Chains A and B, each alone.
Chain A
Amino acid sequence: ETGVTQSPTHLIKTRGQQVTLRCSSQSGHNTVSWYQQALGQGPQFIFQYYREEENGRGNFPPRFSGLQFPNYSSELNVNALELDDSALYLCASSSPGYGYTFGSGTRLTVV
Chain B
Amino acid sequence: GEDVEQSLFLSVREGDSSVINCTYTDSSSTYLYWYKQEPGAGLQLLTYIFSNMDMKQDQRLTVLLNKKDKHLSLRIADTQTGDSAIYFCAEGNAGNNRKLIWGLGTSLAVNP
Interfacial residues, chain A to chain B (CB-CB below 8 A):
6, 31, 33, 40-45, 48, 55-56, 58, 90, 92, 94, 96-97, 99-105, 107
Contacts and interface: CB of A to CB of B under 8 A. Distances in A.
Given A48-B99, A102-B43, 17 more contacts: A33-B100, A40-B104, A42-B102, A42-B103, A43-B43, A43-B88, A44-B102, A45-B98, A48-B98, A56-B98, A90-B43, A92-B43, A94-B97, A99-B33, A100-B33, A100-B45, A102-B45
20 contacts: A6-B42, A33-B100, A42-B102, A42-B103, A42-B104, A43-B43, A45-B98, A45-B101, A48-B98, A56-B96, A56-B99, A90-B42, A92-B43, A97-B94, A99-B31, A100-B33, A100-B45, A103-B42, A104-B42, A105-B42
What range describes how many residues of B lie at the interface? 20 to 34
Interface string B76-101: 00000000000010100010111111
A46 to B, nearest CB: 9
Contacts of B98: 33, 45, 48, 55-56
Contacts of B40: 107
Contacts, number: 55
A42 B44 contact: no
Contacts of B96: 56
Contacts of A33: 98-100
